């Protein structure tokens, strides 16, 4: 069991690393409208994931409630998250955006405790605090401080909550017996539909078709869609199924630092010694917050705690 958990941790660390790289790729693509980039990326990812539907074609009779929950995942953590993320970064600093998104583990832990019955221990709370402090160090060292920016910060906070909401709905669907891969692909396509509706409300299809995209830019879009969105979503949703929403969310603390490292590698941004301290704090926070909440009690038990949470 411990070996399986270590593999899960390595997989989630890999997913977060890919998402850190994705921030750099999306930053490179800022010459295009944000809605265009988000919609194209999500559509390509949906196409890559589509064959999974054939594999699970016998599992599509999942009931009206589960279909509504799947639509909720697509609307919240994919469509609304992408739209508000693209909008929010235009009205606030990159540092504020990173810091607000860094609240994800705390918000996830609190809402999972209230809505799903997942426990909150002193270890998990300490892990959240230490990890968020590491994120704070990264943001302040990179941007010189934190300055409130009104509506931009509010939009980013809403974007973070939408991603948290999607994660909780995924956890609920998994507890209801819906296969993780099926959750991933169906929610992805719900998100794609919502994104295209929004994109076409902003600009006609002819506008997007008329945009000139070089082969290298298409390569970056493809890498972002396949590696970060498609493969990353499968790994992340599997982590939520196995570890729970709040334990999995701890790993998101590593994304700002991963973005910083890749920005230094590909965009020439400078690294400082303080970032090593941030790395140690983030890794320490993830270690504390993602471990089991308590050792097995002396009284024998048959069903693991994680599987007895409320649906």
* 291 confidence band (pLDDT: 50, 70, 90): low
The residue ranking higher by pLDDT, 266 or 301, is: 266
pLDDT value of position 306: 36
Distance CA 133, CA 127 (A): 10
What is the model's pLDDT at position 217?
92
pLDDT interval class at 76 (50, 70, 90): very high
- Report the SS3 class of residue 111: helix
Centre a 10 Å sphere on the Cβ of residue 102 and count the other Cβ atoms it contains: 23
Answer yes or no: is pLDDT of 148 > 90.
no
What is the per-residue pLDDT across 231-259, written as a single tens digit (0 to 9) for each?
999 998 888 888 887 778 778 777 777 77
Predicted pLDDT at 46: 94
Q: Kindly report, residue by residue over 171-228, the tens digit of the pLDDT.
A: 899 889 999 899 999 999 999 999 999 999 988 989 888 889 999 999 999 999 999 8
**Spatial contact of 298 and 133, defined as CB atoms under 8 Å apart:** no
Query: Residue 263 — pLDDT band, cuts 50, 70, 90?
Result: confident
Q: What is the pLDDT of residue 304?
A: 40
Maximum CA extent, the chain: 67
Span 278-307, average pLDDT: 55
Whole-model pTM? 0.75
């Amino acid at each position: 069991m411990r070996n399986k958990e270590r593999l899960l941790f390595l997989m989630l660390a890999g997913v977060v690393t890919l998402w850190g790289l994705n921030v750099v790729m999306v930053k490179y693509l800022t010459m295009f409208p944000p809605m265009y980039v988000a919609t194209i990326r999500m559509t390509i990812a949906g196409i890559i994931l589509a064959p999974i539907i054939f594999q699970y074609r016998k599992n599509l009779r999942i009931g009206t409630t589960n279909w509504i929950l799947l639509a909720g995942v697509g609307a919240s953590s994919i469509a609304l998250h992408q739209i508000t993320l693209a909008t929010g970064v235009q009205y606030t600093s990159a540092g504020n955006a990173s810091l607000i998104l860094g609240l994800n583990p705390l918000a996830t832990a609190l809402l999972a405790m209230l809505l799903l019955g997942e426990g909150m221990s002193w270890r998990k709370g300490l892990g959240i605090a230490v990890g968020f402090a590491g994120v704070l160090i990264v943001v302040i060292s990179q941007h010189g401080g934190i300055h409130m920016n009104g509506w931009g910060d509010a939009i980013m906070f809403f974007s973070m909550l939408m991603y948290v909401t999607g994660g909780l709905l995924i956890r609920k669907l998994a507890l209801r017996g819906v296969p993780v891969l099926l959750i991933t692909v169906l929610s992805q396509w719900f998100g794609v539909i919502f994104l295209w509706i929004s994109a076409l409300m902003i600009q006609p299809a002819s506008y997007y078709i008329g945009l000139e995209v070089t082969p290298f830019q298409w390569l970056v879009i493809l890498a972002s869609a396949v590696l970060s969105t498609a493969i990353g979503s499968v790994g992340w949703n599997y982590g939520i199924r196995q570890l729970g929403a709040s334990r999995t969310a701890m790993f998101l603390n590593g994304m700002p630092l991963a973005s910083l490292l890749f920005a230094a590698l590909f965009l020439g941004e400078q690294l400082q010694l303080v970032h090593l301290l941030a790395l140690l704090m983030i890794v320490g926070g993830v270690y504390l917050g993602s471990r089991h909440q308590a050792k097995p009690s002396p009284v024998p038990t048959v069903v693991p705690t994680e599987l007895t949470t409320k649906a």
